[in-house]
Amino acid sequence: MFEGFDSFDHVIGEVSLHGRIGGSGPPLLLLHGYPQTHVMWHKMAPQLAERFTVVAPDLRGYGASSCPVTRPDHSQMSKRTMAADMVGLMATLGFSHFDILSHDRGARVAHRLAMDAPEAVRKLIILDIAPTREMYANTTLGFARAYAHWFYLTEPYPLPERMISTDPQDFWDKKCMFGAAGDGPFSPGARAAYHAAFDNPDVIHASCEDYRAAATIDIAHDDADGDAKLTCPVHVLWGAHGAIEAFFDCLSLWRLRAEQVTGKSLPGAHYLAEELPEMILEETFAFLAHR
């Protein structure tokens, strides 16, 4: 995986960020979701690198990036803090202005990055999420059952950490293969990489803190935005067989948070970059083509 890419480890503030960089052309930042790593882009990275300089980091607290010291308000895993990491990383690599392709938790980081540093983001692609605050505000029993981890992981330390740590690989499999696509999206090599990363108790704790932050400080930051909206063009794609399609009006919710929103559902579930890589590539190239 990632043939022709170079690995990096850069210290950005309080954390060391691990990842891969490759290709040439305009910079494109890839942000992964939970409970994954930058490896989730492995089916798309070679083709993206033909047109872009691709930067694929592990978010703080995930994969081979370091885990920050826990704070009582969970701010060490707030999307504002994680977004600042990415601005710092891209600056270290020589990029002040870039596009973003993002999934799941990484898309929430991207949302905050584009709000806090609008001058840095040219265009933003979001895979299979609606905005955090609006998803919590519009929660139904069906959504709560489909996304039980959204609520379970916010329980106070150490309850979810202890329960997940009894068998991290089994938890990973049950969480990620619960959807309509089953284990179909995941190649054996990628799944092994995810298992290896998630065997780390510090990563399990940091990822729980990610969700605790989402339910508290991240919503406070969203509320403080008031009527402000993202100014960069936003393209949203989601799975027709997943929870976003079933429980939310995705485009309407994003239009509450961004000025320019396009998008559509695709015939997949949640892990679109691994389930439908060719479709995501087609959408990415089309959306980012006009500079």
Which position among 58, 104, 210, 222 bears the catalytic label? 104
Which position among 18, 149, 235, 270 bears the catalytic label? 270
Q: What angle do CA 100, 245, 168 make, to 5 degrees?
A: 70
What secondary structure, in 3-state letters, does 150-200 show? HHHCCCCCCHHHHHHHCCHHHHHHHHHCCCCCCCCCCCHHHHHHHHHHHCC
Residue with tokens 């990484």: 106
Q: Known catalytic residue: 104?
A: yes
Q: How many CB atoms lie under 10 A from the CB of residue 286? A: 10
Map residue 36 onto helix, strand or coil.
Answer: coil
Residue with tokens 């139904």: 140
Contact 216, 176 (CB under 8 A): no
Q: How far apart are CA 148 and CA 142, in angstroms?
A: 10
- State the sign of the Cα–Cα–Cα–Cα dihedral 82, 87, 88, 93: positive
Beta bridge partners of 54: 22, 28
CA distances 286 to 57, 258, 263, 289, Å, are 24, 20, 12, 5
Angle between helical axes of 79-92 and 217-224 (0-180°, round to 10): 80
Q: Known catalytic residue: 149?
A: no
Residues annotated as catalytic (active site), given as ranges? 104, 270
